Amino acid sequence: QVHVLESGGGLVQPGGSLRLSCAASGSRFSINFMGWYRQPPGKQRELVAVITSGGTTDYGDSVKDRFTISKDNAKDTVYLQMNSLKPEDTAVYYCNVQVLGYVYWGQGTQVTVSS
């Protein structure tokens, strides 16, 4: 069983920055993908950013050029640096970990962008 733990959410003003962290533990195998999804109030969950074990990244259109995903393979940890935050970035952010085709989710961390 892989455990996924997010941290770093909170309240930030528009134009501000936040950094989210996600640590995976308990995997006996190498992690294939780690990434972030978000679910705004009243909307469906959507892709924010993902990164493969080889470092290839992909971003949702609404966050390109503002958010950066990175990882520390030694710690099985992924980070999401969020800059130039907008009110529409308000959502619960979920970490996603994929190992050998199995998908694991964290509990989510709230990000609120408001003045």
pLDDT at site 25 = 86
What is the reported pLDDT for 84?
A: 98
Quote the pLDDT of residue 73: 85
CB distance 93 to 80 below 8 Å: yes
Q: Kindly state the helix (H) or strand (E) to which residue 68 belongs, with its residue range.
A: strand 67-72
**Using an 8 Å Cβ cutoff, are 69 and 36 in contact?**
yes
How confident is the model at residue 31, as a pLDDT?
83
| pLDDT tens-place string over residues 15-49 | 999 999 999 988 888 888 999 999 999 999 999 99
Instruction: Give per-residue pLDDT as tens, 84-106.
Output: 999 999 999 999 999 988 999 99
Q: What pLDDT shows up at residue 78?
A: 96
The pLDDT of residue 24 is 93
> Using an 8 Å Cβ cutoff, are 33 and 70 in contact?
no
Two tokens, residue 82: 């969020």
Q: Tell me how far apart the alpha carbons of residues 26 and 56 are, in angstroms, rounded to a whole number.
A: 23
What percentage of the chain has pLDDT greater than the value 70?
Answer: 100
- Length of the chain in residues, anyone? 115
Question: pLDDT (tens digit, 9 = 90+) per residue, 54-92?
Answer: 999 999 999 999 999 999 988 899 999 999 999 999 999
